Amino acid sequence: MTQNVVISGYGWLAGYVGSALSGKVNIIGTTRSQQKRLALEEQGVTAIEYALGDDTSVLCSHLQNATLLLNIPPGRRNTNLESFTENMLRLIDAALSADVAHIIFISTTSVYGDDTNNVLTEQSDTNPQTASAKAHVTIENHLMSKRDQTNISIVRLAGLVGPDRHPARSLSGRQLDAGNKRINLVHVHDIVSALTSIICDKPLNDVIHLCSLSHPKRGIYYVDAANAMGIDTPHFSDTEAQPGGKVIDAAQSWERLNITPTYGDPYSMF
């Protein structure tokens, strides 16, 4: 019997994941718009119109013995995330009641905050400072408390990069500070490799990091990236200062997955 993978939040990342899994599993994706639902169905995805907080009965009808990939962002400008968090917890509990076999939660390395110059491993304490980071920690903790009911995999992503997405574009031409801070990026190709392994091979029942293996200063890296892309360079202060800021150490996670990231060097991302 072919495995069902339900992707709740079929956005940019899910598009890459769905393409990689096509033909290997049955993909069911949720979207908030009828137009996107029709587009997904044309791509061979069973699509459900669902917005967080809606009735979950149709979604849950696909979840028995399935993998649920939770990839619903809270929204960058949303600072009151109580309803988002409550609705995510309700969705998780509904999935558990529907006998879901495996829940994968796409989280973020922002759960560590920015007030540290430490190297952070998967065992490091979280220190969320933004509303979004606090919501992610609450959801993570809820999921980890349910490991006796189903398989749980929490995937903390560094800053996203892809063929059609790079932070240097949004920084182009800007005046910025903290050029000495180290970057933490991950390429979508490597994320897809990791998620394919977690979905098709073995659940983690743990937390992992997905991040590049090197961490140049942003005041150097983003200038080099802009030059390579032929766009206006950003201008940073403090670039000559000693390297600072957090470093997301993902070596243990890549080893656990038996994956050598193709884009382990951020300079290969542009």
Mean pLDDT of 47-74: 96
Residue 227 has pLDDT above 70, yes or no: yes
Distance between CA atoms of residues 26 and 124, nearest Å:
36
- Percentage of the chain exceeding pLDDT 70: 99
Mean pLDDT of 35-41: 93
3-class DSSP state for residue 153?
Answer: strand
Mean pLDDT of 155-178: 97
Residue 154 has pLDDT above 70, yes or no: yes
Mean pLDDT of 8-26: 95
Weakest mean pLDDT among 65-79, 153-167, 195-209 = 65-79
Tokens of 205: 């029942």
Tell me the average pLDDT of the chain. 96
Predicted confidence at residue 1, as pLDDT, reads 61
Predicted confidence at residue 49, as pLDDT, reads 96
Residue 76: pLDDT band by 50, 70, 90 thresholds? low
Q: Do 234 and 180 contact (CB within 8 A), yes or no?
A: no
Alpha helices in 11-146 (DSSP H): 12-21, 34-42, 57-60, 82-97, 131-144
Q: How far is CA 67 from the centre of its chain?
A: 16
pLDDT in tens, 87-125: 999 999 999 999 999 999 999 999 999 999 999 999 999
Q: Which residue has the tokens 């150097």?
A: 220
Dihedral angle sign, alpha carbons of residues 261, 129, 117, 244: positive
Q: Do 270 and 166 contact (CB within 8 A), yes or no?
A: yes
Residue 44 has pLDDT above 90, yes or no: no
Q: Do 103 and 65 contact (CB within 8 A), yes or no?
A: no
The DSSP 8-state label assigned to residue 52 in this structure reads: T
End-to-end CA distance of the chain: 40
HEC letters along 190-253: HHHHHHHHHHHCCCCCEEEEECCCCCCEHHHHHHHHHHHHCCCCCEECCCCCCCECCEECCHHH
pLDDT in tens, 186-197: 999 999 999 999
Q: Do 231 and 92 contact (CB within 8 A), yes or no?
A: no
The HSE-up count of residue 89 (CA atoms within 13 Å, CB side) is 16
Residue 4 has pLDDT above 90, yes or no: yes
Residue 80: pLDDT band by 50, 70, 90 thresholds? confident
